[in-house]
Amino acid sequence: MMMKFPVVDVHQLHLFLIGLLALLISAFAASVAGIYLGSVGEILAYLPGLMVIVPPSINMRGSISGVLASRLSSSMHLGEFEINFSKDSILGSNTRASLSISIIIAFVLGFFAYLLSSAFGLEGLYISDFIVISVISGIISSIIVMGVTLVITLLSYKKSIDLDMIAAPSVTTSGDLVTLPVLIITAVAILNCPVIIRDVLLILVIMMLIFSIYVSLRSNEEIKSISREIIPLLIPLCLVGTFAGITYATDLEKLVAYSVFLILIPPFTGCCGSIGGILCSRLATGMHTGEIDPKMLPSKDVSEYFISTYIYAIIIMPLLGIIADISASALGMSTPGILSMFLVSTAAGLLVITFVNIVGYATASISFRKGFDPDNFGIPVITSFIDLIGAGVLVAFINLII
């Protein structure tokens, strides 16, 4: 009697491998951002307030561009997408909404960063400094990251690649690579400017904020709809991300002493966010197309998505610890050793991914049942959640194992 083997779904396997390839590329690329963060440890030690703004800045770039990619992906699956940047087109409206939202959220982020830094005794920057640095670096990095997002979207459309599987890793990686150096370079440049120049920049930032609010409230219905759903969501998530920055800043002495952990932070949070982004994009698309029933408890089909996230984590997380240790050793940075890095990255990563599965499905299903677009909610919620919980879990395992 011949043994029967389970039938492999070739299409699902293909999607999984595309996602894995994107995550592997993301892991190596985000480690470059980590190396940069490790190299500016002295600047962060001198101005710890900058560390407060690093996680939410990266997160907001990825969240806004991730929502853009997720909405465009859903429009592809629904047959509504076309390459058209006109004022009232799906592509044009989503791009304009994303840029105006980026400016508004960057302003709010600078304000929150000042409040929490002051509350926790992390002095060194004025409120105007936080706001100007956040908005100017936010505009520069948003234009670049959204440009990358649009290129990936158009290529996936022309090549018939499922955007759900590649958008989150690509957007997260570009956010890591672009936002971090732009933020640090902008901060150093602005803080070295005369006071009068910084005052002029603040006035310009306020003018851009007013214009962005006008665009969000007075443009076509598509832009107003996106703004109404995303801005009230991203404002509290900014606060959540800022608390993640506080978590790192208050433990900055150990992170600077072992610079390898600064190398680990961007790829760790980035890859967790990418895995969560893939999950949220697939859930949103499935709910839009009717393939997934958004019940309170996930169905058996959804459990397969959860299994995929764990497989991704088991492959990616140990790799991140190894890359961080090898990079630190090669650059002469301090590290507790490859075994410790392996354990910290893997254990923290698997725990965070467990929370990702729970929060990702809950966010998508609840938002869909309430009549909201899960594309607008899934990625921002999950990436902000990863910023805060990921920071706490990572720091906890660092203190436990080291």
Please determine, for residue 2, whether its predicted confidence score (pLDDT) is greater than 60: no
Is the separation of the CB atoms in 220 and 39 below 8 Å?
no
pLDDT grade for 166, boundaries at 50, 70 and 90: confident
Separation between Cα atoms, residue 19 and residue 168, nearest integer Å: 9
From residue 402, how far is each of 32, 277, 319, 337 by CA, in Å? 24, 30, 19, 10
Q: What is the pLDDT of residue 220?
A: 81
Q: What is the pLDDT of residue 1?
A: 45
Q: Which two tokens stand for residue 336?
A: 């507790």
Residues 87, 92, 93, 99, Cα dihedral to 10°:
-120
Please determine, for residue 3, whether its predicted confidence score (pLDDT) is greater than 50: no
Report pLDDT digits (tens) over 5-63. Answer: 444 567 677 778 888 888 898 888 889 888 988 888 788 878 888 889 988 888 888 77
Report pLDDT digits (tens) over 138-147. Answer: 999 999 988 8
Name the region of 194 (left: φ>0; alpha: ψ -120 to 50; beta: rest).
beta
Please determine, for residue 353, whether its predicted confidence score (pLDDT) is greater than 90: yes
**Predicted structure pTM score:** 0.78
Please determine, for residue 379, whether its predicted confidence score (pLDDT) is greater than 80: no
Report pLDDT digits (tens) over 98-117. Answer: 899 999 999 999 999 999 99
Please determine, for residue 74, whether its predicted confidence score (pLDDT) is greater than 50: yes
